[in-house]
Chain A
Amino acid sequence: MCALASFGFVLAAHASRAAGQAEAPRKAELIQLVQSSQSNVNTLDAAVRRLRSELAAAELGQARTERLSADDARRLAQLVDAAAASPVAGPGLTVTLSDSNNVPTGTADSSAYRIHDQDIQLVVNSLFAAGADAVAVNGQRIGATTSIRSAGDTVVVDLRPLVPPYRVDAIGADRDVFLRSDISRRFARWTTEFGLGFDVTSQSHLNLAAFSEPVTLSAASPAGG
């Protein structure tokens, strides 16, 4: 019972500390709005993934009932896979990037102590170069239209902010090839110089979700069709 009461105190203290970190009341409000909006987006995203997998199943089912050739059904499935629109699994690598814990206060070049969008971009690039079939950042699958950018200090994948640490999963990436890559070697220096987190772990089984970002292609269409 005392433990529960102290629980309550820990939670309350934590909440007020977090609120105190924001510089102005307006900013604290914005931060809360971002967090609740993020939670809303996560829920909607889960719904989209469910519906997409139901649709894929229904399409395959219909292909069977309409007796489309096994070839056509297979080609549709391959197209879905090639567009990163299906969940995949397999062995690979997980690269975890994190900001430094020892940031010198009040210096202008504190940016070297944080992970930037370009760091993540280059890690993703090098994982594909190392033979990755599929890559995801914090669970978000990288597709043909996925952008990794930043707004201020926050890294944003497509329109969604990322919560650090940044976990990049890659199925099929060769660990040795990746460790020899340019970005990997740069990080090896940066971990000692700035205390950035860079961890490369082999995984025997990774599960990557389908690319769930709603994309309405309004300009591009297949040529000659």
Chain B
Amino acid sequence: MSGVQKSRALRWLCTLAAFGALVVILFPVYAIIVGSFESTSTLFSGTFYWLPHEATLDNYRNVLGAGSANTAETVTGSQAGNVLTSLLVGLGTVVLALVVAVPAAYALSKYRLRVTVILVSALLVAQIVPAIVLATSLFIVFHWIHLVNSYPALILADGTYAIPFAILVLRAFFFSLPNELMYAARVDGASEWQTFRLIVIPLARSALITVAVFAFLAGWGDFIFALTILNGTGIQPVTLGIYNYLGNYSTDWGAVMAAATIAMVPAAVLLAMAQRYIASGLTAGSVKG
């Protein structure tokens, strides 16, 4: 074998290894999508089918219509309403994260303030705090101020995933903007707010999209705050809907699969449409959860 042939063979070997790894990584996702199209009798037949066996849309009809078919003890509403709830929570988290994080990140990178080191340290530490610690206290705090079971409570709580990350990522981005830009605007008579609003924000578009994508996924995918801060009678996001299909003794697998597939849609859409922003957000040293 010549050297060229050998290196070509080696490259294809790498491709093979990489796609082998991808099969393992993507198979669980595939299995749940296939499962969502199986009939209840297939799901309880004791055999796993690698390809859809007697494909049906019944599971989707059930979860988007009246609710779970099998699990009597956990009556849940339609997932169609839950999808709307999750969308609102996700978008609410985006708005909150942007309103809080963008000006803060700007101040922490472009202004000389004594508080900067302390605040940036606090943000780094905030990323470490486990959500269950916050959830236990926030539940009682929200109870106390009569905010339990409301959108504002859930969005405020979900902000804990998104805001420290958003400030740190945006701050790193603002460092890359030349200071002369701000000086020029000031000399031209722009106020601090005008400089921020008219010069800085338009230039930060791509960083803002990255932050928005992650804030949305955090709000959409949150389970722990939904489980603790909502009492299960009013609003219910998709994640909580899935949990309620898991019975103690029997699980309505068709409903679980269909709802889980629906819950994966935003990640798929964003991965297809905003891949560039996802890649830059992930390598920004983010941590989820």
Whether chains A and B associate is no
Q: Which residues of A contact B (CB under 8 A)?
A: none
Q: Which residues of B contact A (CB under 8 A)?
A: none
